[in-house]
Homo-oligomer: A and B are copies of this chain.
Amino acid sequence: MAEEEGITAKKKDFSEWYNQAVFAAGILDKRYDVKGLNVWMNYGYEIMLNLKNFWDLLFREHGIKEMYFPLLVPEKYCEQNPSWWEGFKDQAYWVKSSDEDKASHILRPTGEPAMYPMFSTWIRSHRDLPFRIYETVSSFRYETKHTRPLIRDREITLWHEIHTAHASSEEAEKEASLHQKLYDIIWRKCALLPLKVVKPEWEIFPGAVGAVEYYNYMPSGKVMENGSINNLGQAYSKKFNIKFRDKDKKEKYAWQLCTGNGARLLAAVIGVHGDDKGLVLPPEIAPVQVVIVPIYNNKTKSKVVGKAQQLKAKLPFRVEVDDRDEFTPGWKFNYWEMKGVPVRIELGEREIAGKTITVARRDTGKKEKIAEKLLEDRIKKLLGSMQNDLLENSKKQLEVAVHTAKNKKEISSLAGNGKIAKVHWCGSEKCWGGIKDIEEGIELFGTDLKKSGKGKCVLCGKATDTVGYVANTY
């Protein structure tokens, strides 16, 4: 078992540590024999389902309705949007039946080509708007870049996409603000603070209004894109003929949004919070919040395990009792630390006799003895503190990573050394592109939503109050 062997130190080689942590903790199994495709093990899947169930509730609460579209997309749907198709064609998985000579369908790489021809059927009148739906589904891309579990997979599993259509650009803007709020809530669930940036027009779909994207600063020193809210304007509705008769009897193209994210949320949780012992899971999404490791010998087993089961039944958390005879308590401690379980209870005869329980917290490693009658209250507080502390820790990691750079040399020494350079930037495509030439692999990946104080573009020297972020990206 991989769990016994320990994993590479996180600081020594983040990439190696990440791969080992993912597989050793029972998130995925990479031995499925197709490159870029992994099996979700039960433990990993449960974490993602906790997240999925949460976004299901959240979207439902806000009136966004769940649907499901087929995975096979006819080529002709793709062709309705030639510039999009041009970009995705090379990454397409083509599908054909035994009957066919030539494949005329692909596996969905994104939602638009499957969804929007139907939108055009459903949306006729202003009364059909706003139209607000989502689905959680796999997307497929034949990635030519290096694949990485949860970060760059060829089957992108548990991916949600919200698609909305509106009768006015104002309404679409309002919806976009709502999506930002929803994502803030999801980020808190993950105990993560991402960097939220705006993409310039040449980085988004031609004709679209704008895009907000989220990035996590990973301990590798690179930033990872993690979810986006795309204000498509009328760019897609014009391609897919999504028109409605408005109150003024005029035919208009709908204003659209598309917002999505998925298993990279878990990749960020693992990367940002994990340590040399393995995962550290935010209590709110941990499938097991408390593990009880009973410490016993043949004579005391029934008493100690019985007590452990009793505690499990009483505690209103997700509790597991590890009473496997074949492993020692020490081995079990490592095993559950690897899996990132927030709280561990060590329970032996002495604890039972003394009516005090030893409790260890995963993130700090601190142990304390708690009177049995106070156990529930204390664990509740521990779980709450750990959720908060992890979020604070994520904020701190980001703060420490971001530094202002005033010139190319400073950009190079920051972004080239695993930090994020914050720079004044004139807003031009030329200077955006020019950043890439400073050093291999780095790029300006977005601008801050807020205007900053006055400054000069780090490349051309023009006066500007726009600030952007430069880093190495995944």
- A-to-B contact residues, CB < 8 Å: 29, 31-34, 37-42, 45-46, 49, 65-72, 74, 76-77, 89-99, 103, 105, 107, 114, 117-118, 121-122, 127, 133, 138, 142, 155, 157-158, 326
B71, B77, B103, B117: the one within 8 Å of A138 (CB): B71
24 examples of A-B residue contacts, CB within 8 angstroms: A29-B121, A31-B118, A32-B118, A33-B76, A33-B117, A34-B74, A37-B72, A38-B70, A39-B67, A39-B69, A42-B67, A42-B133, A45-B66, A45-B67, A71-B71, A72-B93, A89-B98, A90-B98, A92-B97, A94-B95, A94-B97, A96-B103, A97-B142, A127-B326
* CB-defined contacts of A114 to chain B, threshold 8 Å: 32
A37 touches B70 (CB 8 A): yes
Apart from A90-B98, A95-B107, 17 more pairs, CB < 8 Å: A29-B118, A29-B122, A32-B69, A32-B117, A32-B118, A33-B74, A34-B70, A34-B74, A37-B70, A37-B72, A39-B118, A41-B67, A68-B157, A93-B96, A94-B95, A94-B96, A98-B142
B94/A68 in contact, CB under 8 A: no
Complex Cα–Cα for A38 and B77 (A): 15
In the A-B complex, the 5 residue pairs with the closest CB atoms: A40-B68, A97-B142, A37-B70, A42-B65, A90-B98
Question: CA–CA, A40 to B71, complex, Å?
Answer: 12
How far does the alpha carbon of A40 sit from the alpha carbon of B155 in the complex, in Å?
21
Question: From A91, which residue of chain B is reached at the shortest CB distance?
Answer: B98
A95 and B98 CA atoms in complex are apart in Å by 11
With a cutoff of 8 Å between Cβ atoms, the chain B residues found around residue A72 in the complex are 34, 37, 93, 155
Cβ-closest chain B residue relative to A124: B1
Report B-chain residues with C-beta under 8 Å of the C-beta of A121.
29, 31
Q: Which residue of B lies closest to A326 (CB)?
A: B127
Q: Which residues of B contact A94 (CB under 8 A)?
A: 95-98, 103
A158→B67 CA distance, assembly (Å): 12
Chain B residues with Cβ below 8 Å from A99 are 142
Nearest Cβ on chain B to A76's Cβ, whole angstroms: 7
Pairwise interchain contact A66-B46, C-beta atoms closer than 8 A: yes
Contacts of A49 in B (CB 8 A): 66
Nearest CB of B to A332, in Å? 15
A157-B67 Cα distance, complex, nearest whole Å: 12
> How near does chain B come to A78, taking the closest CB pair, in angstroms?
12
| Contact (Cβ within 8 A) B32 A70 | yes
Q: Please, how many angstroms separate the alpha-carbon atoms of A32 and B71 in the complex?
A: 11
Closest to A97 in B: B142
